[in-house]
A and B are shown apart, each in its own frame.
Chain A
Amino acid sequence: MSQAPIKLIPRNVAALRRGQQPADGARPVPGNPVSTRLESGVGNCFPGLECDLRNLERRFFPFLEVDIQDTEIDVISVDLAGVQESAGNGEISADTATTYRQISSGLSQGRRWTISQMRGTFGPLGVQTLVVADLRLPSTGANRLPPDAWTAIRLLTEGTEVELTLRQGNTTRSLVRNRARYLDDNGALAKMFLPGELTQSLCSPWTHDFRDCGCFYWASNHPDIALPVLPTPPPVTPEINTYVPWERKDRTVNTLPDPATIDTPVELSHYEINNRWQTLNFVLEGRETVAPYQLGKFTALKFASLAELVTNLRYAAGVELAVIHEYLAAAYSLKVAGVPATAQDNVDAARAELMRITYGEMRHVRAVNDVLRALDPAAFVPALGVASQVPAPLPDAFRPVVPRPATPEVIQAFIDIERPSVSVDGLYSRILATLEDFGSDETQQTVRSIMADGESHFETFSFIQEWLDKHSPADYLTNPNAGVAPADNALHQKLQEEYLALLERLFNGYALGIPAGAADINTARNAMLGTAGLDGAAEAVAAAGFLVAFDHIPDARFAPVDHP
């Protein structure tokens, strides 16, 4: 039975489920991250990288495809079917259709049709009539003209009228249409572009160019270094997780390549790579792959109910606040003055990175509150209670929250709490899995981004450990034995006041939501900065040899949260 197609739009959750498989939606995205896809790539206007945007201009005028040189524009094809349809429904006149057909007919007989002149709105250069053959460098000063044909076309404002003068021998014709739209209403490439059209002019052979470009210039599916192919069964040696040069000359599969860290690794030469580029291995999830790709299993256990999800989200916000307390204590314990010259850069970097991570956790507090609000706007109460305990590296284990100076042991503890798949990351995995049932795509993406941050925090703490381990704690800590200031210490009290004021602002801002709460949230942000703000108060406490620590606040809004 033949019939015209019908379109089915999913309406209920079960219909969506058939297409989207939400039950396993919280697994890792198969293969490489979105950053390796064409649409995330560095598109530019030169041959190279992922696409050549100049190809868009090949279809700037409806129904024509053109080749563009510096001072010449050749028509190479006419979309006669499109002309026919538009003529049929009255969008173009019969005369215009005839002109298109004449050009097409000429092309089919080997005659050359060129665009000799364009009148139109050339962006900032305004309305102009340009003779293509006259375009040349330099293009400067008042009354400047575009330097070449492609730039001229690129400047044409989308949707404005363009008049072309077309020439074949002594014959001239004129066509007037609006400059074509390159994207459709959904932001996708317009249908007129054929598959491969945007990449057709990439460098050839691109691999030669590729050999010259180091320093992570290329997209992540063309890496400088990658993890080596995993043999079966995988060996337990740590070298299997050491990066190796992707373009190494030795293409043997069964031996582990030399690590990328050795000086001047032996790589394929230009000539070799032109001939053997196909021997480069696919890289998926950072590792070279020679066998069919197997998707990893996602095992996070869902929470049983929305109520349990909410409880755990509130706890997650509390964990973020708790680690902020610990990270701030550690960051401010690092010296700002009196650091030996050999340690100065490392200590500065460690402190800056600790603070950067802390800012990240502050964003997480906000993000978790946003998720809570999205789940049930009517019942939403800001989650700003500090967790009494945070997840420890062992499964189902917790440890108390204690402000400590940034000693080697403490940095190790920070690495442990941010380690992927353990502790905090484990909590968010379960939250993410449960949000499949109760949350929107947006809330899931929010949690994904928190998890991605956690991974980067883990790496950063590892770097901090590496930097500080080169020095003695006495060189970088103001007071390696610092404790919390006595309760009546004026500097400590000032810090508590600043902190409470900050929390109250945040509470109001979160409670109101965006946009109404924006003013409060901004005020809270600003109150953290400068010598008169939380930062100044914390510096003063640290300079006096005490830890930056925050007292328990006797206020139900900020009451400690126990782990569920």
Chain B
Amino acid sequence: MMTPFAVIPGDSSAPLFKVFRSALGEHLLIVPHSRIFDVHHDANGDNDAQVLPASLAAALADTANGEVPLDHVVEPPPQSISLNVSSSCNLSCSYCYAARGSFQGAQREPMPWEVARAAIDKLLCGADPLSPVTVGFLGGEPFVNRRLIHRAVEYAAEEGSKRGLDVRFSVTTNGTLLHEEDVELLRKHRFAVTVSVDGGEQIQDLQRPASGGRKGSYEMLLAATRSLLADPGLAQIAARATVVRGEFNLRERFMGVLSIGFREMGFAPLRAAKPGGDALTDEDWPRYLDAIVEVAQSELDRGRQGAPIRFTNLAVALKQIHRGASSPYPCGAGGGYFSVAANGDWYACHRAIGSSMFRVGNNAALDLHQRREFLRARHVHSQPACRQCWARYLCSGGCHQEASSRTDSSCGFVRGWLEFCLAAYCELSVCNPEFFAPSARS
């Protein structure tokens, strides 16, 4: 186990367990380490799991061998980076956090090859050889800087294999600029490809217009992704839709995206936007929850019959609940994951390019002090609003960038969604345990 550089204790009065129900009956979630038990009552007893003895809850919550204590703050070696290869985009979606790749002026030029190579070298030198290493590409639209992507992939794959590393790749793209040579690259390597697509033709064209004109992007997307979707090779492709406030016709959007040929898709609600933007408000969250649960419920029904679950929000949550995912951080930012700006600066998160609080070093070296400060500050035990929440190790405070937009209503959505997923997990683990069997693609 990695030695912690700091220990941040949680609240001793924070709830250690939560009782929830599924079609199977009553269950117990032990909050630390996300352990789930079925609760069987003695036939004669008028007992109540709500009053689980504190000593028992504490015993079940103890950290088991092989688990990392939840109050530890550790610095794992960087295991994955994203390269912000492009500073521009051919679409102009109003909600873009990166301002089409320019990050409000913080990133004016595309990434040069020397910067990409130095970042890859730094990653490969320090990574734990027993775990996979991931190089990701972001922007802007990454494929605006196509030549860099190709060069970086070939380089990382070759250097990685010399060092005996399992190098994988990821890219988040709007999918409209894929050339056949790009498709070949994605097929040939183990790429996790996330295509931003908001729904069927109407919503896609409305929310994701081409820049400099009124033209939508739907037709461009269809044409550019057809051959990859038909034959993905080694790539694993998922669609991701941004949901802004307004009509939550998620079911329709879901089917619209699948009809393009995507086999899985997920939704991300817009939480933070500039003033007057389209972020969800307190009134929207309950409606959004209803809409997402509707999609999830119908996919869960499919899953019960043994069909694949195509809704990634649900599928990922179920698998994480199964293994007992439990972390004081919502993502790997500043831990195993860093995002490299076009100028070679390393940030804890790709959404924070240009933000001094998130800058933790550069291609030459990580700034130990800044990195540690970041990890201390972002630990869920350091978030006053989260310390008493039963979902604190499942949600972990949510996206660092969006934390400031957190409200009771948006947290209510997270808890509501998790309660749905917890019950869905218990039911699916009985109806279709095969869903949780390890697959070759891990």
Kindly state the interface size class of chain B when it binds its partner: 35 or more
Contacts of B321 in A (CB 8 A): 12
B442 touches A18 (CB 8 A): no
**Is the beta-carbon distance between A12 and B440 smaller than 8 angstroms?**
no
How many chain A residues touch B (CB < 8 A): the figure is 34
**A539 vs B251: C-alpha distance in the bound complex, in angstroms?**
71
Which chain B positions have C-beta within 8 A of A24?
65-66
Q: Which of A3, A303, A307 contacts B45, CB < 8 Å?
A: A3
Residues B323 and A12 in contact, CB atoms below 8 Å apart: yes
Which residues of the partner chain A approach B323 to less than 8 Å between Cβ atoms? 12-14
Q: Which residue from chain A places its CB closest to the CB of B130 in the assembled complex?
A: A304
| 0 or 1 for each of B17-52: is its CB under 8 Å from A? (1 = yes) | 000000000011010011111111110111111011
Q: Select B326's contact among A4, A14, A302, A307, beta carbons within 8 Å.
A: A14
In this assembly, does A6 line the interface, its C-beta being within 8 Å of a C-beta of chain B?
yes
A15 (CB) vs chain B CBs: closest residue: B35
B37 touches A8 (CB 8 A): yes
Q: Is A306 an interface residue (CB 8 A)?
A: yes
- Interface membership of A200, Cβ < 8 A: no
User: Are B35 and A18 in contact (CB-based, < 8 A)?
Assistant: yes
- Taking the nearest CB of chain B, how far is it from the CB of A431, in angstroms? 14
B62 at the interface (CB under 8 A from A): yes
Q: Which of B39, B44, B129, B324 contacts A8 (CB 8 A)?
A: B39
Given contacts A4-B45, A305-B132, contact A18 B36 (CB under 8 A): no
Contact present for B440 and A6 (CB under 8 Å): no
Interface string of A7-24 (1 = CB under 8 A from B): 111111111011001111
Contact partner of B47 among A6, A21, A437, CB < 8 A? A6
B225 to chain A, nearest CB (A): 26
Cα–Cα distance between A15 and B39 once the two chains are bound (Å): 13
Greatest chain B CB density within 10 A among A9, A12, A21, A375 is at A12
Neighbouring B residues of A437 by C-beta, 8 Å: 438
Known: A21-B66, A304-B130. A14 touches B324 (CB 8 A): yes
* Contact yes or no, A304 B324, CB < 8 A: no
**Chain A residues, Cβ within 8 Å of B35:** 10, 12, 14-15, 17-18
B64 at interface (Cβ–Cβ under 8 A)?
yes
Fill in one digit per residue for A117-154: 1 if any B CB lies within 8 Å of its CB, else 0.
00000000000000000000000000000000000000
CB < 8 Å neighbour of B425 from A12, A306, A376: A12
Q: Which one, B40, B49, B324, B438, contacts A12 given CB within 8 A?
A: B324
Q: Which residues of B contact A515 (CB under 8 A)?
A: none
Number of A-B residue pairs, CB cutoff 8 Å, is: 119
Query: Does B67 sit within 8 A of A, measured CB to CB?
Result: yes
Known: A305-B166, A306-B439. A17 touches B64 (CB 8 A): yes
Give chain B residues whose Cβ lies under 8 Å from the Cβ of A277: none
- Return the chain A residue nearest B62 by Cβ: A18
Cα of A22 to Cα of B28 in the assembled complex, Å: 21
Whether the pair B36, A11 counts as a contact (CB closer than 8 A) is: yes
The answer to whether A6 and B42 have CB atoms under 8 Å apart is yes
Q: Give the complex CA separation of A171 and B25 in angstroms.
A: 55
List, in ascending order, chain B residues with CB within 8 A of A187's CB: none
Whether A11 contacts B38 by the Cβ 8 Å rule is yes
Which residues 402-441 of A have a CB within 8 angstroms of B? 437-438
For residue B131, CB closer than 8 A to chain A, the reply is: yes
Pick 27 A–B contacts, CB within 8 A, sort by A.
A3-B46, A3-B48, A7-B39, A8-B40, A9-B37, A9-B38, A9-B40, A11-B38, A11-B429, A12-B34, A12-B321, A14-B33, A14-B34, A15-B35, A15-B37, A17-B66, A17-B67, A18-B64, A21-B65, A21-B66, A23-B65, A24-B65, A301-B130, A304-B129, A305-B166, A306-B442, A376-B438
Q: Using a CB–CB distance below 8 Å, which chain A residues touch chain B?
A: 1, 3-15, 17-18, 21-24, 301-308, 310, 375-376, 379, 437-438
Known: A12-B429, A305-B132, A310-B440. 7 other contacts (CB 8 A): A5-B45, A10-B36, A15-B35, A17-B66, A18-B33, A307-B440, A437-B438
Which residues of chain B have a CB within 8 Å of any CB of chain A? 27-28, 30, 33-42, 44-49, 51-53, 60, 62, 64-67, 129-132, 166, 321-324, 326, 425-426, 429, 438-440, 442
